[in-house]
Chains A and B, each alone.
Chain A
Amino acid sequence: MSTQVTSGLQVRKSVELTIDGKKITAPEGSTLLDACRASGKDIPTLCYGDTITPKNACRVCMVELEGSRTLVPSCSRKVEPGMVVNTDNDRTRLSRKLVLELLGSSVDLSLTKNVARWNESYGAEPMRFGSPSFHHSDRDEAVTGHHHAPDGKTAESVHQPVKIDNSLYIRDYSKCILCYQCVDACGEQWQNTFAITTAGRGFDARISTEFAVDLTDSACVYCGNCIQVCPTGALMFTTEYEMREAGTWHEEEQTQTDTICPYCGVGCALTLHVQDNTIVKVSSPSDHSVTHGNLCIKGRFGFQHVQNNKID
């Protein structure tokens, strides 16, 4: 073991391990994903977010660890000295292909970054399970431990109507991969509001308020930190949703401007997403030391006053 100085008095030990036949060193306490990415490996991730402790639920980042009976989730497995890891062999490729197919066949991944590229690179064909089943409007009423037996003609999906119950953001759970990031951001990891939870079990597991009440009846404080961490577009600003519906959302034409929130003295960093000189969405840099990507309702949604042009 060698040591390296990272900052000031903190000394982090280095761990030596082998990835794809090449010996590398990684800081103690880092994850296999960090180590793989540092050595230039392209490991897909879906439920991994840089501000949330990974739930390792999506299982798309699995790598082979010699001596382990199963594959291991690189996003949460810590490096250990002497590990021998394979990131790209038949076993890991089949695993990633299947996970992409299972998600692609049951969830709308059209707004999930990189999926099309990964599908191609792993040869994933989500449609091989059959065409996805139609909208289910009753997913919130699923009875735990019971289901309707499938006939095999369609692939069961989570497709369901979009939930629009407030004017600030929408919830399109047809796009939800159940990464738990919104629940963790709403709950103990950031906001401590606990407005949403995972309800039900198995394929019927779903993100929900208590008794699936509207957000307006729930504990939601509209901080939008769930939108910030959502990797699939299931949670979306109403402005973005309406523009997408109208076909006027053009991300490539948008500019992003960093600024400081004007409302209070905390000094949260805002990133204003602007299209046609209009703010269409607000996010916050996830690596910002004040916010870590989090805002409150004012910073996240209170931007209309900027655009209230005086009418002569």
Chain B
Amino acid sequence: MRRGPSWFNLVSLTVGFAFLYLPIVLLVVWSFNASRLVTVWGGFSTRWYVALLNDSQLLDAAWITLRIGLISATAATVLGTLAAIALVRGGRFRGRTLFSGMVYAPLVMPEVIMGLSLLLLFVAMGFARGFWTVMLAHTTFTLSYVAVVVHSRLVSFDRSLEEAAQDLGCTPAQSFLQVTLPNIFPAVLAGWMLAFTLSLDDLVIASFTSGPGATTLPMRIYSQVRLGVTPEINAVCTLLIAIVATGVIIWSVAQKWRAREAVRTEAVRSG
């Protein structure tokens, strides 16, 4: 007897989502505006996208950002998945409270503090700041997000499957690779994607830990925005939004398709 949404629910949803999406929609619209002004519609134009293609500094920054994102997301996924496994399956090992504290603290730690502390570490260790220091910093703050995503999947995963595999003669490592990993894989992938986008997006930590020659895309966008509004930035933003939206749509369609496929297999089996 669940009642549907009332008018109040509908109004709050409409207002809330309008608030969330208005700025994003506007950016996309402005990126196709021939005029520099946001209030004047100068006709549809792709001139800012053309300008973008000729901006080698911006393209360089995008390439660096992409590489940092790929490497750090992969490293963070390995570390974060291990952390989640230890927290869910490790039992009450010594130092567990401290460990879980360290895993989850970066989620809420202000970025300025993390940036500053990592910078001091790199200076103290005598690392030259640049590509690799940003990569290490991004791995550190994104691994927590991976851990959370994988953790919630592991908790709901039926442990008896692993035990069955071991009863049938699998070593713990084999049962992990052949039973657990395929089961938690969607969460591991989601964690990777989350780590990747967080790395692409980060301005503050990258600014602290980067050095000459390793300007990331957000750092470049930030300095452009500080200098004044350039419509070119709207074009970059639209492209980024398009990439992310496509990824998310493909992901959710694939999930739905997999679910339908599973239902069908089940139906064939029982029928």
Do A and B bind? no
**B interface with A by C-beta (< 8 Å):** none
